[in-house]
């Protein structure tokens, strides 16, 4: 498995080190899926502005919110031990 930046969400593994990095990855995943904020927000039952704030790192996500958004975009959230 490779460790890549959040700019390429198609890789098999993305290492997230902070909330801002996660927010950028979330937006990149949505763009890669060719989905608009309005489409994704509508499917999730949230406002587009709420999703936009999450993607910009303005508002923190709960784990449940992160999982719901990622699932809608076709991704899973995993936690694995660090490789040193």
Q: Which pLDDT score is estimated for 1?
A: 34
**Residues in Cβ contact with 48 at an 8 Å cutoff, skipping those fewer than 6 apart:** 37, 38, 41
CATH of residue 50 = 1.10.260.40
Per-residue pLDDT tens over the stretch 20-35: 999 999 999 999 999 9
> Which domain covers residue 6, as residue numbers?
1-78
Averaged over 33-59, what is the pLDDT?
96
55 contacts 27 by C-beta, under 8 angstroms: yes
69 contacts 75 by C-beta, under 8 angstroms: no
Dist. CA 26–CA 66, nearest whole Å: 9
Any domain includes 83: no
Whether pLDDT at 2 is above 50:
no
Any domain includes 32: yes
When divided into structural domains, the chain yields a total of 1
């Amino acid at each position: 498995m490779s460790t890549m930046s959040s700019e390429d969400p198609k890789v098999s593994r993305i290492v997230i080190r902070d909330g801002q990095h996660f927010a950028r990855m979330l937006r990149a995943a949505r763009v890669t899926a060719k989905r608009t904020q309005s489409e994704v927000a509508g499917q999730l039952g949230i406002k587009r502005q709420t999703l936009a704030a999450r993607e910009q790192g303005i508002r923190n996500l709960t784990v449940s919110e992160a999982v719901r958004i990622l699932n809608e975009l076709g991704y899973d959230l995993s936690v694995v031990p660090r490789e040193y």
